[in-house]
Structure 1
């Protein structure tokens, strides 16, 4: 089988396509034939080893985990002797963290992992990035910010993977939504449900004094120091992108500034949130925005495109 790996930090050119034997599932595992997997900006940052202080966790001189990809969607090929919740032929999707990556043709995954049956009304390509965009934003808006109906949330990076998910989720939660994006993506963000859209090239949202209950910086392009005046009294600044500014303020002012790594939550908690998202997808209340799809063999091209910062929604890798 083919899988994408990187054994040193660097540009997309460090990525290799490895040929290996198809893995064998253990008693509580399932072998999944991957139909589609996600490629994310976070993947490119880990591959590049940036920011450099992140190497304290990823590996100082070379990556500890050489695999790429977390989100996936596919078909169960075989199951271990103790698997009871799923069957051969089931279409499932989800994410696999901290182990063999999903940018591959097959993976083995435990049945109690962060996975669910794929809704019939979405494709494998639409399902593959759900845990990268929707699950992360759902965790931030529902569990961390506890968004309430009528609150005003600003989403910075509203046209990205996390942002397009956050706009839709925030509207489902009854919030007033302002999205920040480039001129060319304003129509998309509006169509996803945003009440107001700000073109960041022409307007600075940080000058909207005491306007927002929540600022969700999904792309790490601003920080609390720049944005604090735009928050109402008691407002909260959220981001999944770690920086020294965020690290300092989240420690010194934890009620106002919140950083979190969604993947570090308990798997059972993430799985419950994923099942809630499945219901929204079944009811056609959420939809995945896909910018481009690449074959797994073209993963270097996908990473190069991700680094242009022109991505809208999600990038998906498909297996031939």
Structure 2
């Protein structure tokens, strides 16, 4: 599977990455990854998904991010007590015949819930509120939506994408300077119905939030894919060879540390170490991407260049899966590196 995924990355994703950043991620990229077996990794060993993530994100950050949306819904469906839903969707999702996205990050925001679930007739629900970010619009066949129910539980529902593109919903396309190619939208929900057969699970919000925050303290493997991409770009320039070699060495040290924490420590332990490692890895990706801009020269100011794309992709990791704790860890890193940013 990893060999097939590498071939897709090297022969399809990487040669077209700059074009994809301009034109948007095509469904064909996800179909090729599905044929390689890369869309069925959510229920397999985590190390496999980490390796595939690094391979794909090193080739094309936008395709990686659409690809990344698929795995949480697959895990949710695989663990669902709803037998009918598993029978209907699990095999298509694992094989990539159906592509999924998710809209759950709003559940981690403080303050009043932004997406709510109200009990309806026959054991169903009605969804209201605004999904601020939904990636893969027009590509995903189904979307895992999280909504807060009145009893402080979270309803997770798997909805066909067309249910979110109906008179009961309004779609607003985002204009982004980074990852614009990922087809990101906001969706307003107005009594969008959820049938019993579409309910994936119900869980206590506090339990979900604890697991979410613990998971997001880790360094995402895509950061190391980004570092592969920036180092590969710098290798073209003799004057930046030493920079590239140094970045590769530091990236491998951070990678070993990050994955060691994931593999050997329980999720709720060593949170400060996880966050510090994450901050250091993202900072290294940003500095190495900046070196790509410097190496390419003034031409890199054009938004359709490889260096500009790499800078935008590296910058994205500042906010991807960001939590207040992750932001604080990055601020502490900045203070340690050079004191006041002024």
TM class by smaller structure = under 0.3
More helix by share: 2
More strand by share: 1
The structure, 1 or 2, with the larger RCO (C-alpha pairs under 8 Å, 6+ apart) is 1
Query: What TM-score, normalized by structure 2, do the two folds share?
Result: 0.24
